[in-house]
Amino acid sequence: MTMIAITEDDFDPGACIDAARSRENGGIVSFTGIVRDDGITAMELESYRDVALQELAIIRDEAMSRYAINSVDIIHRTGKLAIGDHIVLIVVGASHRKSAFQACEFVIDRIKESVPIWKKEQTPEGSRWVPGEHGPSNERTDR
């Protein structure tokens, strides 16, 4: 069983990794994206939720068919986030490490390419939507 979620709530990466443990998985690979301090004071993430969930499911299914893996869990945050907050978590379970690493990298790359989630950075000077981060159009122009 795999989990796909878009949420404003924080998550516990350790609990998600523990939940991926199974008799079939000899390895679990995870990626946790975190808001870094690169001159911003906060960030805001918005999504086209229904389409984003559908796209995450497609990405999960692609990873499951391309790599010898047993599970893929994806959680992506939306809402206002502070420095140090979790943004995204990918947990891949597999019998062997190589396919788990490859699948995890595939998933994060595809999320950045195709999932309609947009990032607005808050700075002491104001805020701006960041082009090129997420989503098919890669840019929000309505604000």
Say whether pLDDT at 109 is over 60.
Answer: yes
d(CA 56, CA 106): 12
Nearest Cα neighbor of 21 from 61, 71, 87 is 71
What residue ranges define each of the domains in the chain, with the CATH number in brackets? 4-125 (3.90.1170.40)
pLDDT category, 139, cuts 50, 70, 90? very low
d(CA 96, CA 103): 11
Residue partners of 73: CB distance under 8 A and separation at least 6: 2, 3, 4, 16, 19, 20, 89, 90, 91, 92
Rounded mean pLDDT of 69-85? 98
Say whether pLDDT at 72 is over 90.
Answer: yes
Rounded mean pLDDT of 23-51? 96
